[in-house]
Structure 1
């Protein structure tokens, strides 16, 4: 009877999707529901939770450090998108070109930084952008007669270091996404364009970019999430979660500070819910504007 039930054509599909449903409920819906509930409570380890209503959210909106963290994360997200969309796309087009030699070597070379531990990478870049004259960047500036720069103590220079680290780590990953998208573009399109006398630039802007739209939207979507969720890079670059004047503090770093360092788990849960809403709003907006929700796109 049980075997007949499991092998039923009506029941079988539900049996196959049951593991996913259980995992989804256990590891996504339940934690999310718990976080929403915690966001309305004051929770301190070792003490009984207290219901505080909207106090956590009111406190959050009045906290200048929280607003600073939001600004830092948003600026980081925008700048990484500006850098890590066009350049990986161009590199992918160059490597995919028939005239390119040693393309497998360049693929590996670009992707290798992504395999490096972010802890190791952050430590190396912290030494590279150190304030001593002997640090790599200041040694390079010294060749041009420039004074040493304290990169990690200024807002602009600190972001230069952070963006350099992000570019080094993720250019290869995004390039591979675009390479996979280029493989799906029929070669006949380029042959027809060549017959019509189209230049390389015209092919790129009128064939390559439009045909890479789904890949580009995907890369933008994951870049938005990655930009808002960035934490370990900043933590390692400034050797802790307390950068000068919070110039490297991100929204996740602020969550960590409140929940782990200050033991305010309810407040940290509220910060997490706000981060989730911000990420969803931005992603849903860009997906709507790019037409991904329209029929036939």
Structure 2
């Protein structure tokens, strides 16, 4: 009876997706619902009290939280500016029939993504150390410049954080674009050659439009990754307390409130705001690029 039920054509699809549904409910929906509830509470060790919208009201006047949002937004915007066009161009070059050693360069550019973010962050913290013998100070010293306290200034600290992001993720995004390029029919480029189109024109009028699904995917995950960044900042500054909060992110602020200060209710409100911001930005960009438009 049970076997006949499982192998029933109407029931079988639901049996196959049941593990996903269970995992989704247990590890996503349940924590999300619990977080929403906690965001309206004051949650301290052994004490839980309903306080309504007090956590959200407090957020509006929290200057440190506003700074964390600005830091995360700036990081997200710059990673979008750098980690979409540059990997796309690299993928286009490597996909060219004139490219030499493409397998070597693909492996070399992807290799940083295999490095633990903890190890990578530690290496960059040492490279951007304020010591005279640190890598970056040695480089600028070669040009006659004085040593810089890289991680104590907002501008140079953000540069170190952005450089780490580019170093780790350029190769990953490049592979996404390479896979998209493989799906573009060669006949389109051959027709363009017959019409006398140059390389720039083919890239603008053929490559970019044909890569739209890949661009949308990379853009979507990059927005989330930019807003959710935490470990990189934590490792570069050797903790969650960067000078004047120049490296503090939204997730870093959530960690500070929830783990370091044990204010889980307030941290939950921070998490809900982060979720709303990420969803809103992604919904807007998906709407603007036509993903949600109805086919006529």
The reply on whether 1:22 has 2:19 as its aligned counterpart is: no
Taking structure 1 as the reference length, the TM-score comes to 0.98
- TM-score, structure 2 as length reference: 0.98
C-alpha distance in structure 2 between counterparts of 1:98 and 1:39, whole Å = 55
Instruction: Report what 1:171 is aligned to.
Output: 170
Aligned-residue offset at 1:156: 0.9
Indicate yes or no: 2:195 matched with 1:196. yes
For residues 223 and 9 of structure 1, the distance between their equivalents in structure 2, rounded to whole angstroms, comes to 40
Question: Which segments of 5 or more consecutive residues in structure 2 lack a partner in the other structure?
Answer: none
Shift in Å, 1:295: 2.8
Shift of 1:48: 2.3
2:7 corresponding residue in structure 1: 7
Which region of structure 1 is more displaced relative to structure 2, 140-149 or 7-16? 7-16
Deviations 1:109-155 (A, max 9, x none): 00000000111111111111111221111111111111111111111
Partner of 1:97: 96
- Alpha-carbon offset, residue 3 of structure 1: 2.3
Uncovered stretches (5+) of structure 1, i.e. residues with no partner:
none
Aligned equivalent of 2:137: 138
List per-residue Cα deviations over 1:83-109 (Å, max 9, x = no partner): 000100010011111011111100000
- For residues 39-97 of structure 1, what are the alpha-carbon distances to aligned partners after superposition, in whole Å with 9 as ceiling and x for unaligned? 0011112x221111111111111110000000000000000000000100010011111
Provide, for residues 246-292 of structure 1, a one-character-per-residue CA deviation record: whole Å limited to 9, x for no partner. 00000000000000000001111111111000000000000000000
Deviations 1:222-260 (A, max 9, x none): 000000000000000000000000000000000000000
- What is the DSSP-based 3-state SS (H/G/I as helix, E as strand, rest coil) of the residue aligned with 2:47? coil
Displacement of 1:189 in angstroms is: 0.4
| SS of residue paired to 1:60 | helix
The number of equivalent residue pairs is 296
The CA distance in 2 between the partners of 1:143 and 1:111, in whole Å, is 30
Q: Tell me what 1:68 maps to.
A: 67
User: For the residues of structure 1 that align with 2:285 and 2:142, how far apart are their CA atoms?
Assistant: 44
Alpha-carbon RMSD across the aligned residues, in angstroms, is 1.0
1: CA distance, partners of 2:127 / 2:10: 62
SS in 1 for 2:292: coil
